[in-house]
Amino acid sequence: MAETTSKTSFIALMVLVSLAFLWLMLPYYGAILWATILAILFQPVQARLTVALGGRAGIAAAISMALCICIVVLPAAVFFAALARQASDAYVSISSHALDFEGVWERIRAALPHRVVELLSSFDVPALANFQTQLTGFLERATQTIARQAYLLGQGTAQFAIGVGVALYLLFFLFRDGTTIAARIRRASPLSDHHTDRLLRAFVAVMKATVKGSIIIAMIQGSIGGVTFWLLGIQAPLLWGALMTLLAMVPAVGAGLVWAPVAIYLLAMGDYTRGAILLIVGTFLISLIDNLLRPTLVGKGARLPDYLVLVSTLGGLSVLGVNGFVLGPLIAALFIAVWSLYIEDRARAD
């Protein structure tokens, strides 16, 4: 009886201490998350460097971390700083009515068949003045958000600096001691070895698939769109490229929500050359990137059903913000893995 009470008390204490530890780490969960993601993605590089350096894991970890800073951290800081400037310029142009939406709408109406115009009128399409007001309000909120985040990156506030410091400090030890940490997690897990290995494999596979499949492909689509906008002389190409990247990361939503209206706008304004070029690039290049690259970058075994990816991504964004792009599908994948293990165990027991 005393032994049972002691064991129960120890488990309760362990749970309480673990919850307290998680509570302490909560303010920097984003830094911890992205350090883990970078460690997983750059693990092959770390392994090759360790072998090349004769087993000197510490030196290899320092080199791997320097590569992460050069490839990820510094470009992100420069990107967001430039993005804030272009977002502010775009907001000023739209709020000052530099873009004549009403004139564009009248050109489109004049080019449409009479029956189509009557059909649109029957649906009570809102006035373009109202549309411009709504768009201005949306861009104001979006610009403020982008500018605030870019300001934090550009000015190096204490909170951002500490977050980056925590991520890089943790990243070094994840590179150097990643294998040992994974082994300790396996030993400490209260689950069976089979369940633990299955869940860890699902965690790593979905983490890689989400980053490579969603973020990298979306960045390629957004980069192509942004460069196309820049070559065509369209205002704020970096802003539009970033917006295409964000929309491309959400399943069932694509970069076409940006380039297609701009192409229609150019055609309606009589700029047929630029409008046609943007339409061709968007249709035959930007929209095909996902189908061309996803089978290569994302393993089929790690993919979730599209409807589940959509719901989990949107839910993750609503609850967790930007980190929800990764955590939403990850939680969904672990949910599927846990219930799959449960079903397999029950089938085996029967």
Note down pLDDT in tens along the chain; length 350 residues: 666 777 788 888 888 998 898 888 888 888 888 888 888 888 888 889 988 888 888 899 989 888 988 888 777 777 766 666 666 666 666 555 555 555 555 666 666 566 665 665 655 555 544 555 565 555 555 555 555 555 555 444 566 677 788 888 899 999 988 888 888 888 877 777 777 887 887 777 777 777 777 778 888 888 898 899 999 888 778 878 887 887 787 666 678 878 888 888 788 777 888 889 998 998 888 888 876 776 666 545 556 676 777 788 778 877 887 777 778 888 888 888 888 888 887 787 76
Residue 44 CB burial class (10 angstroms; 0-12, 13-18, ≥19): exposed
**Cα–Cα separations (whole angstroms), residue 140 to 99, 131, 145:** 15, 14, 9
Query: How many angstroms separate the CA atoms of 320 and 62, rounded?
Result: 31
pLDDT value for 115: 65
Conformational region of residue 97, where left means phi above 0, alpha means psi within -120 to 50, and beta covers everything else: left
278 CB burial (10 A radius; 0-12, 13-18, 19+): buried
pLDDT of res. 75: 78
What is the distance between the terminal CA atoms of the chain, rounded to a whole angstrom? 34
pLDDT for res 318 = 79
The alpha helices in 269-323, defined as continuous H runs, are 272-281, 287-297, 306-320
Between the alpha carbon of residue 320 and those of residues 135, 150, 154, 331, the distances in Å are 25, 19, 23, 12
pTM across the whole model: 0.67
pLDDT at residue 86 in the model: 66
For residue 24, the model assigns a pLDDT of 86
Whether 277 contacts 263, CB under 8 Å: no
Look at the chain and count its residues.
350
pLDDT for position 136: 54
Whole-number pLDDT of residue 231:
92
Is residue 274 within 8 Å of residue 232, measured between CB atoms?
A: yes
CA 335/CA 112 separation, integer angstroms: 50
Cα separation, 21 vs 302, in Å, equals 31
In degrees, rounded to 5, the angle at the alpha carbon of residue 230 between the alpha carbons of residues 227 and 233 is: 155
Tokens of 182: 């994974």
CB 88 within 8 A of CB 142: no
Please, are residues 198 and 341 in contact by the beta-carbon 8 Å criterion?
yes
Domain ranges of the chain: 27-188, 191-350
pLDDT of residue 116: 60
What is d(CA 121, CA 112) in angstroms, rounded to the nearest whole number?
A: 12
Instruction: State how far the alpha carbon of 2 is from the alpha carbons of 7, 179, 205, in Å.
Output: 9, 38, 44
Strands, E assignment, 95-235: none
